[in-house]
Structure 1
């Protein structure tokens, strides 16, 4: 199914995405998604929703299983990049999913921490799943990029701008497990795993892609 209405994205206010920069500075994101893809174990004929599909690199890999992948992302530019790869994808805010019992699984890699109202997201995921469907996701947990956050806040204060509220949602595993159960999910596995990550273009490239709004008013 490919004819869907477009929903104006509201996630991650102020965050803009450039598909070319994302591919260069954040190419590690789909590479590190291999483990969660294996946990999903996509099967031929299944319908799978890729929530926060980005530029569609992982969507295309999941489709090699024979599963039918539908991607959604709040960024029109990244959705255009995903479509250019042949992914069936649409612009949709993760807080406003409109699907009803359409998918055998919902998959998400490195996206849920951009969605600051998790209850709305989980309500949509639950509705999207068919009975017995599975939700398999990876995203930033408690303590993620803490050093970068501290450094940016210190720089803002030093230049007289004051600390800024970061837009990411980084819960503990226990807190997110409780939230999942509140929405009717049976939690089979959840863990917070340290994952030191080599940045191909250094911290500067990472900040340019993931935190530009926080740096716009710094010299």
Structure 2
């Protein structure tokens, strides 16, 4: 249980090794972004920089930011020719307005959605675009329900432990429109995601992405909770030696008016 992380204290080797799907699925999103040579683009929540590099390969002038220092350190190591900085989605600043802000698998970690949208809006040129994908309404509902049930079983209240923001299209598009965006594309879709490492896949996922639920528990309690969650989810999310996370993603393209 040494790999328990918080969203700001990521184990980058685990992230790159076992959870590569985070950016591999994001390559699709790059087609929506359609970066052009010479465009200035921010990769918001760039992680260890894989997609930032792909944007750079298109000839764009790209800058990556992430709130986790370990991620930025690793991104700089991976791609020393790209600028990476530690900054927060809810209050970052830019030197000059950008053509686009791109964000993959990040904004469900930012509960201050209004602040993040305001930061994104102020960073764009008029006509600039915001292209994002993150967890949408119903994302990992089975896993979250199992975690809450397991914790209630040992009398741990769970309200304050959930780290995520999973909006519906209506909710998120409304927030964008209220702050001066024109939402031109919005989609919510199921994307069941197979997890690496066979039987250990769900435990690994919980340790990496749902660690706040386990905060404050002893090592023994953590193992017990994960075991209960696995038993609860096995009939629906474990087949032929592979765990699947019940992902639902929201995908957005919005233009600054």
TM-score (structure 2 length as normaliser): 0.78
Decide which of 39, 43, 54 is 2:47's aligned counterpart: 54
1:28 corresponds to 2:43: no
Map 1:34-183 onto structure 2 (within 5 A): 34-86=27-79, 87-99=82-94, 101-165=96-160, 166-183=162-179
Q: Compute the displacement of 1:147 (Å).
A: 0.6
1:212 corresponds to 2:205: no
Partner Cα separation in structure 1 for residue 52 and residue 211 of structure 2: 26
Contact kept, 8 Å, 1:101 with 1:131, in 2: the verdict is: no
> Matched residue of 2:181: which SS?
coil
- CA 1:13–1:22 in structure 2 vs 1: closer, same or farther (change >3 Å)? closer
Contact kept, 8 Å, 1:99 with 1:124, in 2: the verdict is: no
Alignment RMSD, CA only?
Answer: 1.6
Q: Compute the displacement of 1:33 (Å).
A: 0.4
Partner Cα separation in structure 2 for residue 181 and residue 93 of structure 1: 22
Partner Cα separation in structure 1 for residue 185 and residue 193 of structure 2: 23
Partner Cα separation in structure 1 for residue 7 and residue 13 of structure 2: 19
> Matched residue of 2:203: which SS?
helix
TM-score (structure 1 length as normaliser): 0.91
Q: Compute the displacement of 1:13 (Å).
A: 7.2
Cα offsets for 1:102-160 (capped at 9, x unmatched): 21100000000000001100111011001211000000000000011011111111122
Q: Which residue pairs with 1:8 in the alignment? A: none
Partner Cα separation in structure 2 for residue 89 and residue 180 of structure 1: 26
Number of aligned positions between the proteins:
208
Unaligned 5+ residue runs, structure 1? Answer: 1-11
- CA 1:129–1:100 in structure 2 vs 1: closer, same or farther (change >3 Å)? farther
Q: Which residue pairs with 2:226 in the alignment? A: none
Map 1:178-217 onto structure 2 (within 5 A): 178-201=174-197, 202-216=201-215, 217=217
Contact kept, 8 Å, 2:6 with 2:212, in 1: the verdict is: no
Contact kept, 8 Å, 2:101 with 2:131, in 1: the verdict is: yes
Cα offsets for 1:75-122 (capped at 9, x unmatched): 000001111122311000111111264211000000000000011001
Contact kept, 8 Å, 1:15 with 1:211, in 2: the verdict is: no
Partner Cα separation in structure 2 for residue 15 and residue 106 of structure 1: 21
Q: Which residue pairs with 2:237 in the alignment? A: none
